[in-house]
């Protein structure tokens, strides 16, 4: 080392010129050729005279963001080299050099250009900081890895090569006889006087004296920057055997590295005589070499150790660590297991096995290994820190903090401990303490990319996106092969609406860790925003396949709790493709594995919005998603929790689905979204949403309006909804919610009738006001146990007027209903390895008073007869339930449960136990078979929301539109879903419902019960023949038999859709539907039948930079006239009775 410091070098190679620039510049015809005809020292002297680089420059040209080993700088006219440290400024014209076994990182001012410095490198930062159009770097010898993300001219000059670059990632290496460029992304042209070549990603060009550049393709491009890899400092886990002189020397070397003295650690090893160097020496030297990224030299040292002792446990353990870094999981497991077998008393071997198991997504197994290591070395602070890290990964925040603090007490200067504390504070949204912890971790281990990642996330959480993104870029250049950092880097670019860069980072993350589902999932969201919806679906499926075919929401870093990153737009992706059944399957699979997963509940809520008679299930899943969600900025749509909108699917100003413009980072700030729609029949709608988050508190305010004259007389509707929502974290375990919602609706007869002219109720008018206040609680006892609670108070005032002619009399009805309902529920989640259990209690108390006046005026006298009545229909409903999901092997899951309901109405009382039984069998990786049988009792219609599970093995329990509360039913069903290929899926579902439906006669005040049997069927086939087209074919069957009047109705519905998606953001869908109905739709008429075609058309355009969307839709394009029987579900409009044209748009601001 001392010799290196005093050594001066002279370079006398004549230079050739290579001009390199991005393909974008090449297309513009630009070129850069700067011949150098003099020796490098002369060049540097001339440059020095032209630069104003006085000592202590006011505006540095760059600053050091990482220093490992010895890095020195000096001004161009100076002779003394000065050591640089973390955050040391580098002035324009300064020379910088790195010593042997040394690395560094540099941030160029004004350009967001990151540079990683290899050992034995000398270069000069030439650009004056005031020059913002380009940055100049002169490399004399060695290697630099560049990441430049902005359209900023970066010029890299060497004695052999000039590289002019616009926003790319590449490496330049300069040797005695040649220069080379390795390109990781972008397009580059390399040229000299002898010729030129064009480089694409994963290619390299080499220029030698007097020869044209040679183009080569790299199988493993990352091998070129293997020196940048970061390895956790594992020397603290070595056995501390200091009984002999060699052992003492090795102990001193380990302690020097623990203090960050890399130079001292190598110096102590170098003083050991060759005769004393046994397998312990070579293993420890390999550990030191890994600490500074010298992988090849470390491999050689390990081979020497194994030649001396072929079963050396330490050498095998370090080989396992290298395999982990190379994403060779199977090899890592074999080596680490062999290390443990060779020496079961080795803490290092146990630690290596923990990393191998973590890389294989076995966090529990990794934690067990570290516990075994801690039993061998209970006072080892590094092992304590590693255990704290794993506690954090599995979500046990309390254990992580306690263990990390124990490690700090043993040794306050371990970077891993500080990093764990930083992520723990960040999880608690204590960003100030998180930043302090991460900054201390960076000081202790300046090459650690995860500490930089954490610091960046803390800054982003505070709303400082640009500063946080810069820290993520530093993390990326510190370890370019880290897939997790690449995924987060892509997320940051996504937030900045730099989609091309985001896509590149996701692609790189996939290459670096092909098994990680995270980049596939994030790229799906990005592709959907770009209108490439079919490609988005393929990425979703790939993400699921990489997570054991379970939910697509898991990321390896548990900190990733931002709700958008787990559920942003998933429902809308499937909806745009018209592949709703796939969305349901993903939601069911998610909740089967994780019943407390808020994303799975939200996905079901979004998808149920488009299914008939699923309103109760939809609003219940939404409530559960809200209670389980973390504090976030995603707005709450006022329409989502309403069950009586009377608005056809998609006709309002916004869709009844999760807001797809959610952010991927949960960061402080305020967001505004405005939507509007207008069209035929004087249709007009608007929605304004304002949401924000600050620290531990988030809020959402929303206003919605919709009105239309309707397609016929008395089909008008005017509706307003206002919503306020606040959520706050009382601690890292407990959050509370407050929601207030008010709705006002005035409408006539909203339904389409089977006999349109005869059945239309032209005198029916309804004026409804509803107010709701909700309190919610979510408490997390530990990673395996959670609790949610909800208290809802609702007041309803409903005025109903009706007037009709019976043929012999004119009848008018005037009714008013006032109702008040309290509903309180609590639900507990508990999970073990193969068993998930949830139990809950609920109590509902409704007081409802109805006054009605009926006036009958005969066509011929006598006088009008007026009848007045008053009815109090109070309801008390108490319930308790227990559900379980039991894995009976890897492919079979049993869903079993039992509920008890005590339903007490004024005129009837019912108590019953309701068994629940479901089975999900993954017969093959592509085939799932489901079956279920269960009993239910329906809730009062005044409050439809519940936190009880809504489905058993994917079969819905709670149907809406069937009548009033207290309906008892059995449902039996079987289904099969199969994926024929990546782009072709199909399935079938059959079920039967046997219902006992109560009915209150307002004249006699007697409750009668009737038996109703429903047969339900569904089949689907989804196909994506190209990456721009999607085809959906579905079939729905519903047969209903009512014993009271022996009426039977049957509906066959064949919806189809062909969709096209262009990368420009323009897309469209053509949706023909054939319907055939027959049966008794009016007892006075008898049996009848109807068949018709309906054709809908939509054209959509996604605005650039995630700003919103505009769509033009035409319902009933051919203006067909038909009759349709909705079978008791007036809230779900599948068709429009006349041609309806409307335009709607949505704009997003933040």
Where do the structural domains in the chain lie, given as residue ranges?
Answer: 2-219, 229-375, 379-479, 570-859+885-1149
**By the 8 A CB rule, do 633 and 597 touch?**
no
CA atoms within 13 A on the CB side of 725: 27
Alpha carbon separation from 347 to 234, 238, 366, 379, 703 (Å, rounded) = 10, 7, 13, 12, 60
**By the 8 A CB rule, do 698 and 739 touch?**
no
**Which residues, including other chains, have CB under 8 Å from residue 223's CB and lie 6 or more apart?**
none
**Which residues, including other chains, have CB under 8 Å from residue 935's CB and lie 6 or more apart?**
912, 913, 914, 915, 916, 968, 969, 970, 971
3-state secondary structure of 394: coil
How high is the pLDDT of residue 149?
A: 73
- Whole-angstrom distance, CA of residue 692 vs CA of residue 879: 37
> Identical fold at 229-375 and 379-479?
yes
- Whole-angstrom distance, CA of residue 322 vs CA of residue 302: 11
User: Global pTM?
Assistant: 0.85
List the one residue out of 1060, 1118, 979, 894 whose CA is nearest residue 533.
1060
3-state secondary structure of 597: coil
Q: What is the DSSP letter of 275?
A: G
Alpha carbon separation from 583 to 332, 437, 542, 661 (Å, rounded) = 36, 41, 15, 18
- Whole-angstrom distance, CA of residue 27 vs CA of residue 30: 8
- Whole-angstrom distance, CA of residue 608 vs CA of residue 102: 58
3-state secondary structure of 343: coil
Q: 570-859+885-1149 maps to which CATH number?
A: 2.40.170.20
- Whole-angstrom distance, CA of residue 994 vs CA of residue 1015: 9
CATH 1.25.40.10 is held by the domain 379-479: yes
Quote the Cα angle for 71-75-79, to 5°: 85
**By the 8 A CB rule, do 714 and 761 touch?**
yes
**By the 8 A CB rule, do 667 and 461 touch?**
yes
List the one residue out of 352, 417, 423 whose CA is nearest residue 384.
417
Alpha carbon separation from 327 to 220, 322, 358, 516, 709 (Å, rounded) = 12, 9, 12, 10, 63
How high is the pLDDT of residue 374?
A: 92
Which H or E run includes 136? strand 134-157
- Whole-angstrom distance, CA of residue 170 vs CA of residue 154: 12
**Which residues, including other chains, have CB under 8 Å from residue 244's CB and lie 6 or more apart?**
none
β-pairing verdict for 134-157 and 122-125: antiparallel
CA dihedral sign, ordered 238, 241, 244, 249: positive
- Whole-angstrom distance, CA of residue 998 vs CA of residue 1009: 4
Mean pLDDT by 10 residues, the chain (1150 residues): 39 34 30 34 40 59 92 88 93 93 89 88 77 76 86 72 72 90 81 78 84 79 82 73 72 77 85 88 90 91 92 92 87 94 92 90 87 91 90 84 90 88 87 94 91 94 92 92 89 91 92 84 89 90 66 39 44 86 89 87 87 89 93 86 76 58 74 93 93 93 94 89 96 94 91 72 87 96 93 94 80 90 96 93 93 83 78 91 95 96 85 96 94 92 86 93 77 97 95 87 70 95 96 96 79 96 94 94 79 95 90 94 80 84 90
- Whole-angstrom distance, CA of residue 479 vs CA of residue 116: 9
CA dihedral sign, ordered 936, 941, 946, 949: positive
CATH 2.60.120.1440 is held by the domain 2-219: yes
Q: What CA dihedral angle connects 340, 345, 350 and 352, to 10 degrees? A: -70
β-pairing verdict for 765-782 and 785-805: antiparallel
- Whole-angstrom distance, CA of residue 142 vs CA of residue 126: 17
How high is the pLDDT of residue 895?
A: 97
What fold does the segment set 229-375 form as a domain? 1.25.40
Q: Where are the alpha helices (DSSP H) in 1019-1112?
A: none
């Amino acid at each position: 080392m001392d010799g290196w410091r005093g050594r001066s070098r002279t370079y006398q190679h004549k230079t050739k010129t290579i001009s390199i620039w991005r393909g974008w510049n090449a297309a513009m015809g630009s070129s850069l050729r700067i011949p150098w005809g003099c020796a490098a020292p002369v060049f540097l002297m001339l440059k020095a005279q032209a630069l104003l680089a006085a000592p202590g420059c006011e505006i540095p040209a760059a600053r050091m963001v990482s220093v490992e080993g010895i890095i020195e700088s000096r001004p161009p006219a100076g002779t003394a080299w000065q050591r640089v440290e973390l955050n040391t400024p580098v002035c324009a014209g300064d020379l910088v050099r790195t010593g042997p076994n040394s690395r560094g990182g540099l941030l160029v001012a004004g350009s967001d250009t990151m540079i990683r410095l290899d050992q034995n490198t000398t270069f000069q930062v030439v650009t004056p900081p005031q020059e913002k159009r380009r940055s100049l770097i002169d490399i004399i010898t060695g290697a630099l890895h560049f990441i430049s993300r902005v359209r900023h001219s970066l010029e890299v000059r060497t004695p052999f090569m000039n590289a002019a670059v616009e926003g790319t990632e590449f490496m330049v290496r300069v040797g005695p006889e040649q220069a080379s460029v390795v390109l990781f992304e972008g397009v580059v042209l390399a040229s000299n006087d002898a010729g030129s070549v064009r480089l694409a990603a994963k290619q390299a060009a080499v220029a030698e004296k007097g020869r044209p550049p040679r183009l080569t393709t790299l199988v493993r491009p990352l091998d070129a920057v293997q020196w940048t890899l970061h390895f956790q400092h594992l020397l603290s886990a070595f056995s501390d055997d200091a009984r002999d002189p060699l052992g003492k020397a090795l102990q001193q070397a380990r302690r020097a590295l623990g203090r960050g003295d890399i130079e001292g650690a190598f110096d102590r090893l170098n003083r050991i005589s060759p005769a004393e160097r046994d397998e312990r020496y070579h293993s420890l030297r390999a550990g030191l070499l890994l600490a500074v990224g010298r992988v090849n030299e470390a491999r050689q040292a390990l081979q020497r150790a194994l030649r001396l002792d072929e079963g050396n446990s330490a050498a095998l353990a370090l080989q396992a660590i290298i395999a982990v870094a190379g994403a060779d999981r199977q090899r890592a497991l074999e080596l680490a297991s062999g290390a443990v077998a060779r020496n079961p008393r080795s803490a290092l071997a146990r630690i290596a096995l923990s990393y191998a198991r973590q890389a294989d997504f076995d966090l529990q197994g990794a934690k067990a290994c570290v516990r075994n290591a801690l039993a061998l070395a209970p006072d080892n602070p590094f092992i304590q820190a590693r255990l704290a890290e794993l506690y954090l990964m599995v979500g046990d925040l309390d254990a992580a903090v306690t263990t990390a603090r124990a490690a700090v007490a043993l040794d306050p200067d371990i970077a891993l401990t500080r990093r764990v504390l930083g992520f723990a504070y960040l999880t608690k949204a204590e960003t100030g303490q998180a930043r302090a912890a991460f900054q201390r971790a960076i000081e202790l281990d300046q090459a650690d990319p995860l500490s930089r990642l954490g610091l960046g996330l803390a800054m982003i959480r505070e709303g400082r996106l640009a500063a946080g993104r810069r820290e993520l870029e530093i993390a990326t250049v510190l370890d370019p092969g880290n897939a997790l950092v690449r995924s987060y880097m892509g997320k940051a670019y996504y937030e900045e609406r730099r989609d091309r860069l985001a896509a590149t980072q996701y692609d790189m993350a996939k290459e670096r860790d092909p098994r990680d589902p995270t980049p596939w999932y994030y790229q799906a969201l990005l592709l959907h925003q770009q209108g490439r919806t079919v490609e988005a679906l393929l990425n979703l499926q790939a993400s699921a396949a990489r997570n054991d075919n379970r939910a697509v929401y898991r990321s390896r870093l548990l900190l990733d709790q931002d709700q958008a990153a787990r559920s942003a737009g998933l429902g809308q992706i499937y909806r745009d493709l018209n592949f709703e059944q796939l969305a349901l399957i993903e939601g069911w699979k998610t909740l089967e594995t994780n019943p407390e997963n808020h994303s799975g509940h939200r996905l079901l809520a979004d998808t149920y919005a488009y299914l008939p008679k699923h309103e109760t299930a939809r609003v219940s899943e939404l409530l559960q998603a809200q209670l389980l969600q973390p504090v976030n900025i995603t707005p709450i749509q006022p329409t989502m929790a309403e069950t009586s909108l009377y608005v056809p699917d998609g006709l309002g100003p916004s869709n009844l689905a999760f807001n797809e413009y959610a952010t991927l980072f949960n960061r402080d700030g305020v967001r505004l979204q405005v939507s509007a729609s207008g069209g035929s029949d004087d249709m007009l709608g608007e929605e304004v949403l304002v949401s924000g988050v600050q620290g531990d508190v988030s809020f959402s305010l929303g206003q919605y309006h919709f009105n239309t004259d309707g397609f016929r007389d008395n089909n008008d509707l005017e509706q307003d909804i206002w919503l306020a929502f606040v959520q706050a974290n009382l601690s890292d375990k407990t959050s509370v919610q407050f929601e207030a919602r008010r709705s006002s609706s005035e409408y006539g007869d909203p339904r389409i009738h089977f006999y349109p002219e005869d059945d239309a109720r032209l005198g029916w008018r309804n004026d409804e006001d509803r107010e709701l206040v909700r309190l919610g609680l979510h408490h997390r006892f530990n990673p395996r146990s959670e609790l949610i609670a909800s208290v809802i108070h609702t007041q309803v005032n409903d005025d109903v007027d009706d007037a009709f002619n019976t043929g012999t009399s004119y009848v008018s009805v005037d009714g008013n209903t006032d109702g008040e309902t309290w509903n309180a529920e609590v639900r507990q989640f508990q999970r073990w390895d193969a068993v998930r259990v949830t139990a809950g209690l609920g109590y509902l108390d409704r007081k409802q008073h109805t006054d009605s006046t009926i006036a009958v005026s005969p066509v011929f006298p006598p006088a009008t007869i007026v009848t007045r009545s008053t009815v109090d229909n109070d309801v008390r409903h108490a319930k308790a339930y227990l559900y379980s999901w039991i894995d009976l092997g890897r492919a079979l899951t049993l869903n079993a449960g039992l509920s008890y309901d005590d339903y007490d109405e004024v005129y009837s009382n019912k108590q019953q136990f309701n068994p629940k039984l479901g089975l999900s069998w993954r017969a093959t990786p592509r085939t799932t078979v489901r079956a279920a049988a269960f009993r239910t009792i329906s809730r009062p219609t005044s409050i439809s929301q519940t936190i009880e599970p809504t489905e058993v093995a994917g079969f819905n329990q709670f149907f809406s539109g069937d009548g009033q509360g207290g309906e008892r039913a059995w449902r039996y069903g079987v289904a099969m879903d199969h994926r024929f290929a990546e782009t072709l899926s199909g399935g079938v579902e059959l079920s039967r419902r046997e219902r006992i439906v109560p009915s209150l006669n307002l004249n006699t005040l007697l409750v009668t019960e009737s038996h109703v049997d429903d047969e339900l069927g569904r089949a689907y086939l989804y196909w994506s023949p190209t990456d721009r087209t999607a085809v959906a074919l579905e079939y729905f069957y519903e047969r209903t038999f009512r014993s009271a009047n022996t009426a039977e109705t049957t509906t066959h519905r064949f919806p189809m859709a062909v969709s096209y998606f262009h990368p420009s953001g323009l897309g469209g869908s053509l949706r023909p539907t054939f319907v055939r109905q027959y049966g008794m739709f009016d007892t006075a008429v008898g049996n009848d039948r109807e068949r018709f075609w309906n054709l809908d058309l939509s054209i959509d355009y996604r605005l650039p930079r995630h700003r919103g969307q505009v769509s033009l839709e035409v319902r009933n394009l051919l203006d067909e006239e038909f009759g349709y029987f909705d079978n008791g579900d007036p809230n779900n409009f599948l068709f429009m009775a006349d041609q309806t044209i409307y335009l709607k748009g949505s704009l997003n601001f933040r």
